Amino acid sequence: MPDTSRQTLPHVHDVVIIGAGPCGLAVAARLREKAPGAIFTDEEHRRHRFLHRYGRSMPLKQVRNGRVTCCGRPTASDTQDLDITALDATHDDWCGRWNKLFKCYNIEYLRSPMFWHVSPVDRDALLGYAYSQNRENELLEIHHCVGKEVSKHMRKRTRTQKCSAHSACNARVEINERDRIDYFNPSQALFSDHCRAVASRYHLCDGVVKKESVQDISFDVVQGISVNNEPLFTVTTDRGPQYARTVVLSVGPANQPSIPRHAFKAFSATESLPQACHSTQIETFPDAVVRTRMTNGQRTKVLVIGGGLTSAQLSDLAIRKGVTKVWHLMRSPIAIKTFDVELSWMSKYRNLEQAYFYSADTDEERLQMVRAARGGGSIPPRYHKKLKDHISRGRLELRTETKLVNAQFVTTEAGGRWKVETEPAIEGIPSFDFIYFATGIETDVAALPYLQTMRETHPIDEMGGLPCLTEQLKWKDDVPLFVTGRLASLRLGAAGPNLGGARTGAERIALAIQEHFEECKREDRISGDIAAADKDENEWERFVLGRGSKYSCLVEH
Ligand SMILES: Cc1cc2nc3c(=O)[nH]c(=O)nc-3n(C[C@H](O)[C@H](O)[C@H](O)COP(=O)(O)OP(=O)(O)OC[C@H]3O[C@@H](n4cnc5c(N)ncnc54)[C@H](O)[C@@H]3O)c2cc1C
């Protein structure tokens, strides 16, 4: 007979992070940081309930003088020792998918400013890292941003009304000259090295990230593993189950990429399309088919569909890689925006929009605010200029407010090509060697296969495809499944899907996880005291009944 008593029980992690992108790294790093920097101001603290709850356990930045007031009691002391593991579907390292996409699209600079990063130390950690490594030459100034919002009308009003520094007209200036230093784009190499430095500083490198794709999450008492009927998470991956007391979901846009399939009438919804793919599925750029034709000296034509930065990057890259002509179709008019979100959501301290967002009465209102702030896809001025240059040299044909309505794959002796029809129709549009869809990803929590069990056993409200989480970014008050990144947009605001939401999400989650484990400890202590009291009572009873010794009642526990 095998000695079953010697079999080891499966390990139960304190925290399992699903998704090792920037948001997952920000949570892991924040859980290990003893002295996090202030990311909220005292004004925000006064105004918002979720901050009120933790006001004493986090440093706050005073609005008037910028001084940071430290917390009354030590911060997050217990979370540094937590056993953390991260599971990622595509890589066994932090930000693997991020790095792969940047390399694939040949992107040199991020779109976001310097204070959007993953370090919990302080707001200027990335800037500090750039200077400490003598890499300030890897920062690219963002033009038309600082001071832009001071219109001629406002300047005239300021002159005529002699507004003082604290008057209402100045309050409308979103990005102060003093913050100019923040409005630079870091290079991808710098950002990526900074992420690596953060992971290394918090001992999150060796073996913390495992390449496993999550297929199901459930939360219940696990027979043979739970102690004292403690409910645990069973995270089922393609490699088997992992058990955890708390789970953080940081899966980015999460869903499958969306391709407008209605245009491909000859193909069923599940059939794969030849010589066409979504931007997130690109392995090499341009595709091998296009490269072979280029090497054979054939004229090549590529169709790019989409209105966001990725579409512009792909058009630009295709031309730089030698594709003869690129056609770029956009459903809407071209939107030129420096960032994914409006500038008013980005400023460093006066985050008025964020305050309106936190104070909104309903999730519907919040959803509308997020949608209004993000709009559809947009292209920063730097890339718009590149597109205009390609257009003037005849390498690019850009058609806005044009939809792809039909695409037929035609095979000739020269190989397969796409014959397309658009609305409005474009006369003389050629056949294409390849179609790239930079059409984004529609996030819908209801369509995520690995959340179906949680949605059935612990249902919560959903709005616009997003879960209505608690203010602590928890699934439900009694379910310690935390969510960050795009799926948490109804709580984090318009910058939630970007790096802008990474630190805010991490801060809220770390504080809630700390509270969760403190609560568990308190409960353990109480049940320990009750057990000890029961034992005392039993010993006393045994003595009174003449079965036990009086001295055993006196033993100290
Ligand atoms: C080309 C490109 C450039 C961008 N540039 C910027 C920029 O400059 N600034 C900015 O703020 N934002 C930028 N963004 C937006 C960017 O996606 C986010 O800022 C950032 O990636 C969000 O991080 P995240 O961790 O939430 O998601 P992601 O980076 O998408 O990470 C999610 C991770 O979850 C994993 N995952 C998903 N499902 C599962 C599963 N079932 N099991 C296990 N793992 C899973 C994925 O493999 C992935 O590694 C850019 C996006 C793209 C595509």
pLDDT tens-digit profile of 414-430? 789 999 999 999 999 99
Q: Per mean pLDDT, which of 143-147, 157-161, 349-353, 394-398 is the most reliable?
A: 394-398
Q: Is 450 in the pocket of ligand 1 (CB under 6 A)?
A: yes
Is the bond leading into 381 cis (omega within 30 degrees of zero)? Answer: no
Tell me the percentage of the chain whose pLDDT exceeds 70. Answer: 79
Ligand 1 center from residue 419 Cα (angstroms): 33
Tell me the pLDDT tens digit for each residue of 111-151. Answer: 999 999 999 988 889 999 999 999 999 999 988 777 655 55
pLDDT confidence bin for 164, thresholds 50/70/90? very low
CA angle 68, 27, 251 (to 5 degrees): 140
- The larger pLDDT score, comparing residue 356 to residue 489, is at 489
Residue 553 has pLDDT above 70, yes or no: no
- Given a contact cutoff of 8 angstroms between Cβ atoms, the answer to whether 21 and 250 are in contact is yes
- The larger pLDDT score, comparing residue 396 to residue 147, is at 396
Residue 196 has pLDDT above 90, yes or no: yes
SS3 track for 100-148? HHHHHCCCCECCCCCCCCCCCCCCCHHHHHHHHCCCHHHEEECCCCCCC
Mean pLDDT of the chain: 85
Pick the atom of ligand 1 nearest to 252's CA: 27
- The larger pLDDT score, comparing residue 376 to residue 285, is at 285
pLDDT confidence bin for 464, thresholds 50/70/90? very high
- Predicted TM-score (pTM) of this structure: 0.85
Tell me the pLDDT tens digit for each residue of 226-249. Answer: 988 999 999 999 999 999 999 999
Tell me the pLDDT tens digit for each residue of 23-38. Answer: 999 999 999 988 787 6
**482 CB contacts (<8 Å, ≥6 apart)?**
27, 246, 247, 248, 249, 472, 473, 474, 475, 509, 512, 513
- The larger pLDDT score, comparing residue 379 to residue 555, is at 379
Ligand 1 center from residue 547 Cα (angstroms): 67
Residue 76 has pLDDT above 50, yes or no: no
pLDDT confidence bin for 163, thresholds 50/70/90? very low
Ligand 1 center from residue 24 Cα (angstroms): 10
pLDDT value at position 95? 97
- Given a contact cutoff of 8 angstroms between Cβ atoms, the answer to whether 31 and 79 are in contact is yes
Residue 205 has pLDDT above 80, yes or no: yes
With the most atoms of ligand 1 within 8 angstroms of its CB, the residue from 251, 339, 437, 486 to mutate is 251
Pick the atom of ligand 1 nearest to 110's CA: 8
Q: Give the containing element (helix H, strand E) for 86.
A: strand 84-88
Q: What is the rounded average pLDDT of the residues 65-73?
A: 59
Ligand 1 center from residue 410 Cα (angstroms): 36
pLDDT confidence bin for 325, thresholds 50/70/90? very high
pLDDT value at position 416? 92
Tell me how crowded residue 527 is: count the other CB atoms within 10 A of its CB: 11
Q: Per mean pLDDT, which of 56-60, 251-255, 257-261 is the most reliable?
A: 251-255
Cα separation values, 280 from 38, 144, 165, 242, 440, Å: 35, 30, 47, 28, 9
How many Cα atoms are found within 13 Å in the side-chain-facing hemisphere of 70? 7
Q: What is the rounded average pLDDT of the residues 10-25?
A: 96
pLDDT value at position 516? 92
- Given a contact cutoff of 8 angstroms between Cβ atoms, the answer to whether 438 and 311 are in contact is yes
Query: Measuring from atom 46 of ligand 1, which residue has the nearest CA?
Result: 19
Least confident of 188-202, 472-486, 541-555: 541-555
